[in-house]
Amino acid sequence: MRPTTCPPEHRDSAVRFVERVGAEVWSARIDELRQRATSGPRMGRVLLQRHAVECAIDRLRRGAAKISPAEICIAHLCADAVALLDALPQGGQARMLAAIRQGMTGEATLVPVFHLLRTAALQRARGFDVAATGFAEGTPFDLLISRQGQEAEMACEVVSAESGRDVHRGAWFRLVDRIDPELQTWLADHPGRYLLKITLPNGLKDAGDAADAEGGLLANLHSRISGLLSTQKRSDHDEAAVLRLDPLLIAAAQADELGLMPRLREEFGPEAHLAVTAAGNGVFVLAARAGRENEVAVAVRRHMSEIAPHRLSGVRPGILAMFIEDTDRTEWRGLRDRLELEGEARQFLTQPHAKAVVAVTCASRLELFGMAGDDAVSDGELRFRNQAHPAAKSVGLAPAVVSSV
């Protein structure tokens, strides 16, 4: 999608949003993210992608000459946020600002608040009246929607796909940034094309630099890779990791990451963690895999089972609006096309925990940023209706609950 000239109203929306949050608080957060992004080239890119909402708002408020369609989506949601803040009573404003500032703390992001804003906008576009009762009144659910005399409660939840992976992407990129300088030095002394396959039966979780500084899984794996290279061994294995160093034999592979990565993805599949280091004419590929398949959809179902009894009152039909975070286009498409999300959602809807739930919806960053393109799902979300719920066939609620597949 090509960038477009930034209209003044989009910049104004971002400026007003930042003013409501607090300019000093905002600037401190942006400075913090920029500093953290210097931790390593790959981890830095991942961090900025994860905080794409904040980055988009900051570009908008600074009056970027050209903005992307994704940034336009964020500008519209900034305008919605300001309008909602202006409409809320004092206590509601305090709750909403607290949620926004919580999203600007530590590893948190603004995605939960913007998922709520997008969900509200989606329901308004379908003809519902929408009240942000979570902010306005402190209800356990976030939104109360009504149409043709029918009401439903909506709980907007964010689940990280990392909770369904044994090997976390954050940990993987942190490892690659650590080992990359050594690989470049090693390639200078051992020119050629190499492939290091890594199997991690116990997984690799991201504990952060401080927690993993000494003796952590990531530090130990780094040490073992370094040892394998320094001793010129071809393999190393124990219960935590299996390492095997082989020649890279993928035909016609280019020496740069951009050209090689698609071929590697074809070879190792969508769940593999891949990285390429190039130095001179040398290429070193790292390919890691967990000991079992990812269970992202299972993690979503488990999260719904945990939160449904607490986030919905049971007085009205309830809708769980799930946002699956930390996925890319390929993974999101796979979760949909293999019917994994549908299968787990429908299994959840048979459980006692789902008694109050009339529908489950699922969306990703592609929908939040208007980037779905040809991958777009019906009405901007996957939706699964609970046929056993008394309100399943309600005409008034139909636009929000009828299954999209």
pLDDT digits (tens, 9 = 90+) for 357-386: 999 999 999 999 998 766 656 667 999 999
How big is the chain, counted in residues? 405
Pairing of the two strands 150-160 and 143-147: antiparallel
Confidence (pLDDT) at 252 = 46
Q: ∠37-59-93 over CA atoms, to 5°?
A: 95
How many domains would you assign to the chain?
3
Confidence (pLDDT) at 178 = 94
Of 269, 290, 311, which closes a domain?
290
Q: At 205, is the pLDDT very low, low, confident or very high (cuts 50, 70, 90)?
A: confident
Confidence (pLDDT) at 386 = 97
Give the Cα separation of 392 and 395 in Å (integer): 9
Does 172 lie in the same domain as 285?
Answer: yes
Q: Is residue 147 part of a domain?
A: yes
Confidence (pLDDT) at 8 = 86
- The structure's pTM equals 0.92
Coil, helix or strand at residue 313: coil
Answer yes or no: are the C-beta atoms of 326 and 159 closer than 8 Å. Answer: no
- Structural domain for 401, as ranges: 110-165+294-405
Q: Residue 71: is its pLDDT beyond 70?
A: yes
Could you report the per-residue pLDDT of 345-364, keeping only the tens digit for each? 999 999 999 999 999 999 99
Does 68 lie in the same domain as 151?
Answer: no
Q: What is the DSSP string of 205-245?
A: ---HHHHTSSSSHHHHHHHHHHHHHHHT-SEEE-SS-EEEE
What phi, psi does 339 have (nearest 5°)? 60, 25
Of 249, 272, 290, which closes a domain?
290
Does 42 lie in the same domain as 6?
Answer: yes
Does 286 lie in the same domain as 209?
Answer: yes
Does 262 lie in the same domain as 191?
Answer: yes
Q: Is residue 101 part of a domain?
A: no
Confidence (pLDDT) at 273 = 94
Q: Is residue 193 part of a domain?
A: yes
Q: Residue 90: is its pLDDT beyond 80?
A: yes
